[in-house]
């Protein structure tokens, strides 16, 4: 839009369509439902739409004879099929989709969609096929896509074309809460509010109950979408909003860090004071940490000294030497006893040899008579007269007595050594018992000291952590103060940038008040205001007098229609395509509802003989004004009394 157009508000009762906007940026020319994609398939339903006002109504019931006529006939399903063709994931709730698939397993919805003057044909399955079977092509008639050999493209190609035409200009701006650029589905959500949202809030567009697959945006994100589309958010302000959001996040994170550190320091100070008995209530946090750490280090040094003294105890070392000497004495005595036992074994063997020598020698001497020696007695040194065969050794008895005495002497010595050993063992065992007791006591003392040392080392770590945390707190506190200053500067910068869009906002307010007054037929003055948190609607002194209803459905509809009207006049980048599903069911009074249709017709009338540059599709159970209950405004009448009057001509 030319900035010079913003210098003057339009008169409140006049709409001048922008000359450079000859057609909607996007609009739907036809919706067709077929049982299958085939050249000979007859349409189940074929609805032709037009630029301008399009009404989908229900038949007027006979007051005295008819039951429900206008409900459960397919009004909402029609709007959902339009949204489905334009990119939404689902066309109905999970409870409804299988029921349709059972009756129409191969059915498709086909749409003729005009994007920036080019006609696209879209076909999407509503039967058993997956939505991934969706396809598109560029042609002048929906019948092109059902022909055999049709050169279709991926459905994503169609969506890319919509994205390029509607939101590509906003690629550098991110929605603050979801932190991503605006998408076509965000725009579609605003332009085709869920009927189940009941038009309760200007920024509430999607209900999870409808299972459309499009998530409802946070209010601030929805506000950014509207502001972008209505050119109420320039690049500088967009950048400032992102910066401000980040500053707010950083400030909140820093404030949480400060709070956490303060709590941690308070708990640690209390803990160290109790453990180290530091009486320093008047000390600053940094001095407290240093004193606590120094006191803990001193305690650690004292405990380490006690451990060293325990290892260097001279009395204990002397006692260990005494225990070792007792052990060696027992071992030495056992060695002496073993030696004497060996001597005794030898002596016992000699005694036995002497005792058996008499009979053995006599037998040996008599054996000589069997082999007489040829030498004379004087010529043989072995023929000693005393050693003649048959004589007995005269020294044998003496040798036996000596061996016996030696054996007895050894037994006495061994007995004495055993007595000495017993005494040494008793002395050794007594020392061992005493040693075990002293060792247990030393271990207890050492464990106690080491346990105390571990506690003190942990206290040192706590004290060091206290010092470190205090430094972090000082840094965080300084950072928080800096962020608060930056936030204040950001608010001032945003205020300056916001003034640049004030004229465009003023023009939107002209359209808003025009729509609002047309609906409520009273002199009410509303205001579309902007701040760091987005877009807000207010009514000043009139708000309490007008009642709660004005703050809901009338306000929501007035905003939507005002944005459509302003876009027709040249403001912003809205595609000038809107779907309202049964707005009367949002508790609109009947006369206000009738004025809605009249006002929408007035938007179309502003074009004179030219085709309107917008498309507005509305479904209604309440009959529209009589002059609009006919062509070209009335595009379809649904009737619940007969199957043929239902959208899909079948009940599910």
- What would the pLDDT profile of 465-497 be if each residue is shown by its tens digit? 777 777 777 787 887 788 777 777 766 666 655
pLDDT (0 to 100) of residue 9:
44
Quote the strand ranges of 91-231, DSSP E.
Answer: 108-115, 118-125, 135-138, 153-154, 174-175, 180-181
- What would the pLDDT profile of 289-334 be if each residue is shown by its tens digit? 677 777 777 778 887 888 788 777 777 777 788 888 888 988 988 8
Task: Give the integer Cα–Cα distance in Å for 288 and 370.
Answer: 119
With a pLDDT cut of 70, the percent of the chain lying above it is 80
Task: Give the integer Cα–Cα distance in Å for 184 and 186.
Answer: 5
At residue 78, does pLDDT exceed 80? yes
Top-ranked range on mean pLDDT: pick from 146-160, 286-300, 304-318, 578-592: 146-160
At residue 68, does pLDDT exceed 50? yes
- What would the pLDDT profile of 511-551 be if each residue is shown by its tens digit? 999 998 888 867 778 888 866 576 788 876 665 545 544 54
Structure-token pair, residue 547: 């009642």
- What would the pLDDT profile of 242-254 be if each residue is shown by its tens digit? 666 676 777 788 6
CA distances from 522 to 493, 516, 566 (A): 38, 9, 21
Residue 455 counted as domain residue: no
- What would the pLDDT profile of 265-281 be if each residue is shown by its tens digit? 677 667 666 666 666 56
pLDDT (0 to 100) of residue 602:
95
More confident residue, 155 or 652: 155
In three-state secondary structure terms, 588 is coil
At residue 453, does pLDDT exceed 50? yes
- What would the pLDDT profile of 620-647 be if each residue is shown by its tens digit? 988 999 999 999 999 999 998 889 999 9
Helices (H) and strands (E) in the chain, counts: 13, 14
pLDDT (0 to 100) of residue 120:
98
At residue 2, does pLDDT exceed 80? no
Rounded mean pLDDT, 160-185: 92
pTM: 0.62
Rounded mean pLDDT, 431-459: 81
The pairs formed by 418-424 with CB atoms below 8 angstroms and a separation of 24 or more are 418/337, 420/333, 421/330, 421/333, 421/334, 421/337, 424/326, 424/329, 424/330, 424/333
φ, ψ of residue 105 to 5 degrees: the values are -65, -25
Peptide bond into 595 cis (omega under 30): no
pLDDT (0 to 100) of residue 510:
92
pLDDT (0 to 100) of residue 238:
59
At residue 370, does pLDDT exceed 70? no
Domain that holds residue 158: 25-218+574-645
pLDDT (0 to 100) of residue 348:
82
What DSSP string runs through 492-559?
HHHHHHHHTTHHHHHHHHHHHHHHHHHHH-S----EEEEETTEEEEE-GGGHHHH-GGGGTHHHHHHH
Domain containing residue 115: CATH number? 3.40.50
Query: Which residues does 183 contact at the CB level (< 8 Å), separation at least 6?
Result: 163, 167
Task: Classify residue 636 by its DSSP letter.
Answer: E
Rounded mean pLDDT, 96-112: 94
> With left for phi above 0 and alpha for psi between -120 and 50, is residue 582 left, alpha or beta?
left
Return the closest-CA partner of residue 27 out of 85, 73, 70, 74: 85
| Rg of the Cα atoms in the chain | 55
pLDDT (0 to 100) of residue 6:
38
Rounded mean pLDDT, 207-213: 86
Rounded mean pLDDT, 196-203: 83
Mean pLDDT value across the chain: 82
> With left for phi above 0 and alpha for psi between -120 and 50, is residue 481 left, alpha or beta?
alpha
In sequence order, the β-bridge partners of residue 48 are 30
pLDDT (0 to 100) of residue 27:
98
Return the closest-CA partner of residue 275 out of 444, 462, 447: 462
What DSSP string runs through 374-400?
SS-GGG-TT--GGG-TT---TTHHHHH
At residue 396, does pLDDT exceed 50? yes
Rounded mean pLDDT, 384-392: 52
With a pLDDT cut of 90, the percent of the chain lying above it is 35
- What would the pLDDT profile of 9-59 be if each residue is shown by its tens digit? 444 567 899 999 999 999 999 999 999 999 998 999 999 999 999 999 998
pLDDT (0 to 100) of residue 38:
93
pLDDT (0 to 100) of residue 277:
65
Query: At 421, is the pLDDT very low, low, confident or very high (cuts 50, 70, 90)?
Result: confident
Residue 95 counted as domain residue: yes
Of 44-48, 162-166, 284-288, 382-386, give the lowest mean pLDDT range.
Answer: 382-386
pLDDT (0 to 100) of residue 47:
98
At residue 416, does pLDDT exceed 90? no
At residue 170, does pLDDT exceed 80? yes
Residue 466 counted as domain residue: no
Structure-token pair, residue 170: 């906003």
Residue 4 counted as domain residue: no
Residue 599 counted as domain residue: yes
Structure-token pair, residue 626: 């009589």
- What would the pLDDT profile of 594-613 be if each residue is shown by its tens digit? 899 999 999 999 999 999 99
More confident residue, 196 or 545: 196
Query: At 460, is the pLDDT very low, low, confident or very high (cuts 50, 70, 90)?
Result: confident
Give the distance from CA 565 to its chain's centroid. Answer: 43
At residue 428, does pLDDT exceed 60? yes
pLDDT (0 to 100) of residue 265:
66
In three-state secondary structure terms, 282 is coil
Residue 160 counted as domain residue: yes
Query: At 413, is the pLDDT very low, low, confident or very high (cuts 50, 70, 90)?
Result: confident
Residue 366 counted as domain residue: no
Residue 111 counted as domain residue: yes
pLDDT (0 to 100) of residue 286:
61
pLDDT (0 to 100) of residue 7:
34
In three-state secondary structure terms, 448 is helix
288-300 exposure pattern, b = at least 16 Cβ within 10 A, e = fewer: bbebbbebbeebb
At residue 575, does pLDDT exceed 70? yes
What DSSP string runs through 341-364?
HHHHHHHHHHHHHHHHHHHHHHHH
Number of domains in the chain: 1
Owner of token pair 């209604």: 620
Rounded mean pLDDT, 154-176: 93
């Amino acid at each position: 839009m030319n900035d010079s157009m913003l210098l003057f508000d339009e008169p409140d009762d006049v709409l001048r369509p922008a000359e450079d906007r000859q057609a909607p940026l996007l609009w739907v020319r036809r919706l067709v439902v077929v049982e299958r994609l085939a050249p000979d398939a007859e349409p189940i339903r074929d609805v032709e739409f037009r630029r301008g006002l399009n009404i989908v109504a229900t038949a007027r019931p006979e007051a005295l004879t008819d039951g429900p006529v206008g409900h459960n006939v397919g009004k909402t399903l029609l709007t959902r099929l339009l949204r489905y063709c334009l990119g939404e994931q689902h066309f109905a709730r999970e409870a409804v989709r299988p029921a349709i698939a059972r009756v129409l397993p191969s059915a498709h919805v086909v749409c003729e969609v005009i994007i920036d003057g080019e006609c696209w044909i879209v076909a999407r399955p509503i039967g058993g096929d997956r939505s991934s079977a969706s396809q598109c092509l560029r042609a002048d008639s929906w019948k092109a896509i059902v022909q055999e050999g049709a050169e279709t493209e991926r459905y994503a190609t169609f969506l890319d074309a919509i994205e390029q035409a509607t939101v590509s200009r906003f690629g550098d701006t991110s929605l603050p809460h979801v932190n991503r650029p605006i998408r076509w589905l965000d725009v579609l959500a605003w332009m085709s509010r869920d009927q189940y949202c009941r038009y309760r809030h200007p920024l509430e567009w999607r209900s999870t109950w409808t299972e459309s697959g499009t998530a409802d945006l946070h209010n601030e994100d929805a506000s950014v979408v509207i502001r972008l589309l209505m050119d109420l958010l320039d690049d500088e302000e967009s950048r400032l909003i992102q910066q401000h959001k980040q500053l707010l996040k950083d400030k909140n994170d820093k404030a949480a860090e400060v709070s956490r550190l303060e709590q941690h320091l308070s708990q640690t100070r209390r803990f160290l004071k109790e453990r180290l008995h530091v009486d320093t209530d008047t000390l600053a946090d940094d001095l407290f940490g240093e004193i606590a750490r120094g006191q803990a280090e001193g305690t650690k040094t004292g405990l380490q000294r006690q451990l060293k003294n325990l290892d260097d105890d001279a009395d204990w070392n002397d006692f260990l030497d005494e225990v070792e000497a007792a052990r060696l004495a027992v071992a030495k005595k056992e060695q002496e006893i073993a030696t004497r036992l060996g001597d005794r074994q030898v002596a016992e063997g000699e005694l036995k040899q002497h005792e058996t020598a008499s009979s053995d020698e006599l037998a040996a001497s008599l054996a000589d008579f069997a082999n007489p020696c040829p030498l004379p007695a004087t010529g043989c040194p072995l023929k000693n007269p005393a050693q003649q065969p048959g004589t007995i050794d005269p020294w044998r008895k003496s040798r036996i007595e000596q061996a016996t005495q030696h054996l007895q002497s050894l037994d006495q010595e061994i007995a004495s050594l055993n007595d000495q050993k017993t005494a040494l063992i008793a002395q050794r065992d007594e020392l061992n018992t005493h040693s075990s007791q002293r060792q247990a006591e030393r271990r207890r003392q050492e464990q106690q000291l080491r346990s105390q040392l571990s506690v003190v080392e942990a206290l040192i770590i706590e004290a060091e952590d206290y010092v470190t945390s205090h430094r972090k707190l000082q840094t965080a506190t300084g950072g928080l103060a800096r962020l608060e200053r930056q936030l204040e500067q950001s608010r001032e910068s945003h205020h300056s940038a916001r003034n640049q869009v004030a004229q465009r906002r003023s023009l939107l307010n002209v359209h808003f008040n025009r729509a609002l007054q047309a609906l409520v037929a009273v002199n009410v003055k509303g205001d579309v205001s902007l701040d760091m948190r987005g877009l807000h609607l207010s009514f000043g002194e009139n708000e309490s007098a007008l009642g709660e209803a004005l703050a809901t459905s009338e306000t929501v509809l007035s905003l939507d229609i005002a944005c459509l009207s302003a876009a027709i006049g040249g403001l912003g980048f809205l595609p000038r395509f809107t779907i309202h599903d049964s707005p009367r069911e949002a508790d609109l009074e009947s006369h206000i509802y009738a004025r809605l249709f009249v006002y929408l017709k007035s938007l179309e009338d502003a074009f004179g003989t030219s085709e309107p540059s917008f498309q507005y599709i509305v479904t209604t159970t309440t009959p529209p004004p009589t002059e609009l209950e006919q062509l070209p405004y009335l595009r379809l009448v649904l009737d619940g009394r007969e199957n043929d009057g239902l959208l899909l001509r079948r009940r599910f």
